[in-house]
């Protein structure tokens, strides 16, 4: 009987892959995230593993600059993207955005062939612009094509797929670019994936706007429109706190993902290919956490999982600080540590498990928050409210990049010390949200009580 129940739960979580209203969209967003990270991580590996930066301080700067350039467009263009997504058919917009991606990947292929880091950074910024226009559509189309009892499963699958695609982009970009003629291969593959993504987007069912008449005139002033959308978001205080919680997760996760390349090479004395292994551990964890949300909450949107995710993030990020020190003390290796050798070391496996659990609890934190925003926001406002979320994501991620530059390049902190500082800030920030909106702690207590019975 128990085995039959488990099988039914697995089927209920993955049945959306048999539906045309979900599968083409899933493939489209999966390939888009894969392409972004394929190009971005190839660039980071080029910077970290070559002499282009010239010093550790310059490497830190360029690494954080690349992260900032990719997410800055979310701040600049999300309000326009949200208005478009609420006014026009979302499937049509996705198809046009994916066609632009083909052009950008062709330009990126040329930049990789030239080996020009400045040109690569410009393409990375343009990819950020493209992703900024896709963002509000991505999370506003899900409740339009799925029923309310499918909402958490849909978000879990998209969350899982997004981070698995990040993993694949990280692995392929990091490993392929180090091969002979690797940058050329990366460019050709990225262009091919963009074409496949565009073909998949053509199969997404129509998703017409809910009510254009109630939206007023199109506002080209981003500051005024941002304020207007922010007022929409704060009509429900829980939605606003969910936005802050998601944005904090992207600062937290972005701080780790951005520093891992330099962390692997300079702190762990690893070969550049170790970068992909460490990033892979983090991202596999996020995918696992996203899927566990559905199992732990039995398919319902459960705010009680959010405090669980917050606690896990702080615990394992703090442990990563200590495990990094233990690794350095136990392994005084003068030659670069290969990925295969790293996983055989006890301290190395400890670091990988820390990163995986950080990712897992991050997935448990962010999936319920996205589902709560979708569930508690009206359909004709949803894309614009999500655009506010994207703007805050950008602000927080840029802040994370600036914190990285400040603490690592200016103040001279070590990367493990930076991880510890972010862990402490995580406890303070999310703890404040839980105090301001008691629903999270109240539902967490109820969830713990229910599951322990």
Closest C-alpha among 90, 110, 78, 120 to residue 386 = 78
Number of domains, the chain = 1
Q: Cα(174)–Cα(42) distance, rounded to whole angstroms?
A: 5
CB atoms within 10 A of CB 347: 18
Q: What phi-psi label fits residue 216: left (phi over 0), alpha (psi between -120 and 50 degrees) or beta?
A: left
Q: Cα(15)–Cα(12) distance, rounded to whole angstroms?
A: 6
Whether 212 is in a domain gets the answer: no
Can you tell me whether residue 301 is helix, strand or coil?
coil
> Do 155 and 299 touch, CB atoms closer than 8 A?
no
Q: Cα(96)–Cα(99) distance, rounded to whole angstroms?
A: 5
Whether 4 is in a domain gets the answer: no
pLDDT single digits (tens) 144-167:
888 777 778 888 888 888 878 877
Q: Cα(9)–Cα(50) distance, rounded to whole angstroms?
A: 48
What pLDDT is stored for residue 52 in this prediction? Answer: 45
Question: Who has greater pLDDT, 232 or 64?
Answer: 232
Q: Cα(321)–Cα(411) distance, rounded to whole angstroms?
A: 18
Closest C-alpha among 188, 192, 208 to residue 200 = 192
pLDDT band at 3 (very low <50, low <70, confident <90, very high): very low
CA 287 and chain centroid, separation: 11
Closest C-alpha among 166, 167, 159, 130 to residue 142 = 159
Q: Cα(299)–Cα(310) distance, rounded to whole angstroms?
A: 20
Whether 9 is in a domain gets the answer: no
pLDDT single digits (tens) 168-186:
887 788 778 777 777 888 8
Q: Cα(191)–Cα(307) distance, rounded to whole angstroms?
A: 41
Identify the CATH number of the domain in which residue 192 sits: 1.20.1250.20
Whether 215 is in a domain gets the answer: no
Whether 139 is in a domain gets the answer: yes
What pLDDT is stored for residue 49 in this prediction? Answer: 61
Question: Who has greater pLDDT, 9 or 208?
Answer: 208
pLDDT band at 204 (very low <50, low <70, confident <90, very high): very high
345 is in which domain, residue-wise? 20-207+229-452
pLDDT single digits (tens) 6-64:
444 444 567 777 788 889 999 999 999 898 888 877 877 776 665 444 445 566 677 66
Can you tell me whether residue 270 is helix, strand or coil?
strand
- Flag whether pLDDT at 437 surpasses 80: yes
Label each residue of 129-193 as H, E or C. HHHHHHHHHHHHHHHHHCCHHHHHHHHHHHHHHHHHHHHHHHHHHHHHCCCCCHHHHHHHHHHHH
What pLDDT is stored for residue 217 in this prediction? Answer: 66
Mean pLDDT of 311-316: 95
Mean pLDDT of 224-228: 83
pLDDT band at 379 (very low <50, low <70, confident <90, very high): confident
What token pair was written down for 180? 């002979």
Q: Cα(295)–Cα(291) distance, rounded to whole angstroms?
A: 7
Whether 3 is in a domain gets the answer: no
Whether 257 is in a domain gets the answer: yes
> Do 112 and 432 touch, CB atoms closer than 8 A?
no
Q: Is the pTM of this model over 0.85?
A: no
Whether 219 is in a domain gets the answer: no
Mean pLDDT of 339-354: 87
Mean pLDDT of 301-311: 91
């Amino acid at each position: 009987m128990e085995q039959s129940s488990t099988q039914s739960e697995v089927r209920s979580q993955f049945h959306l892959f048999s539906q045309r209203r979900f599968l083409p969209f899933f493939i489209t967003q999966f390939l888009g995230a894969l392409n972004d990270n394929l190009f971005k991580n190839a660039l980071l590996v080029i910077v970290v593993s070559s002499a282009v930066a010239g010093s550790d301080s310059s490497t830190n700067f360029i690494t954080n600059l690349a992260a900032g350039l990719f997410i800055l467009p979310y701040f600049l263009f999300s309000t326009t993207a949200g208005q478009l997504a609420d006014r026009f058919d979302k499937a049509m917009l996705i198809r046009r955005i994916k066609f632009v991606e083909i052009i950008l990947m062709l330009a990126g292929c040329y930049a990789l062939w030239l080996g020009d880091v400045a040109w690569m950074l410009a393409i990375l910024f343009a990819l950020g612009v493209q992703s900024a226009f896709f963002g509000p559509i991505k999370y506003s189309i899900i409740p339009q094509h799925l029923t309310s009892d499918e909402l958490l499963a849909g978000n879990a699958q998209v969350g899982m797929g997004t981070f698995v695609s990040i993993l694949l982009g990280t692995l392929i970009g990091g490993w392929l670019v180090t091969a002979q003629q690797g940058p050329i291969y990366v460019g050709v593959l990225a262009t091919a994936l963009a074409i496949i993504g565009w073909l998949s987007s053509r199969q997404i069912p129509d998703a017409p706007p809910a009510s254009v008449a109630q939206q007023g005139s199109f506002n080209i002033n981003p500051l005024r429109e941002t304020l207007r959308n922010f007022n929409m978001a704060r009509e429900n205080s829980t939605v606003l706190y969910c936005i802050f919680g998601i944005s904090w997760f992207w600062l937290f996760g972005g701080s780790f993902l951005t520093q891992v390349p330099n962390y692997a090479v300079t702190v762990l004395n690893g070969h550049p290919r170790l970068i992909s292994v460490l990033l892979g551990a983090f991202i596999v964890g996020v995918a696992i956490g996203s899927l566990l949300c559905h199992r732990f909450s039995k398919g319902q949107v459960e705010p009680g999982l959010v405090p669980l995710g917050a606690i896990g993030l702080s615990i394992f990020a703090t442990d990563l600080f200590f495990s990094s020190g233990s690794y350095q003390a136990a392994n005084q290796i003068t030659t670069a540590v290969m990925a295969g050798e790293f996983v055989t070391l006890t301290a190395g496996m400890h670091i990988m498990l820390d990163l995986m659990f950080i990712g897992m609890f991050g997935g448990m934190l962010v999936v319920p928050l996205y589902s709560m925003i979708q569930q508690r926001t009206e359909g004709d406002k949803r894309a614009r409210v999500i655009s506010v979320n994207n703007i805050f994501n950008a602000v927080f991620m840029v802040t994370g990049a600036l914190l990285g530059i400040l603490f690592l390049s200016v103040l001279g902190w070590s990367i493990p010390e930076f991880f510890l500082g972010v862990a402490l800030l995580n406890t303070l920030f999310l703890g404040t949200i839980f105090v301001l909106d008691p629903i999270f702690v109240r539902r967490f207590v109820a969830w713990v009580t229910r599951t322990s019975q």
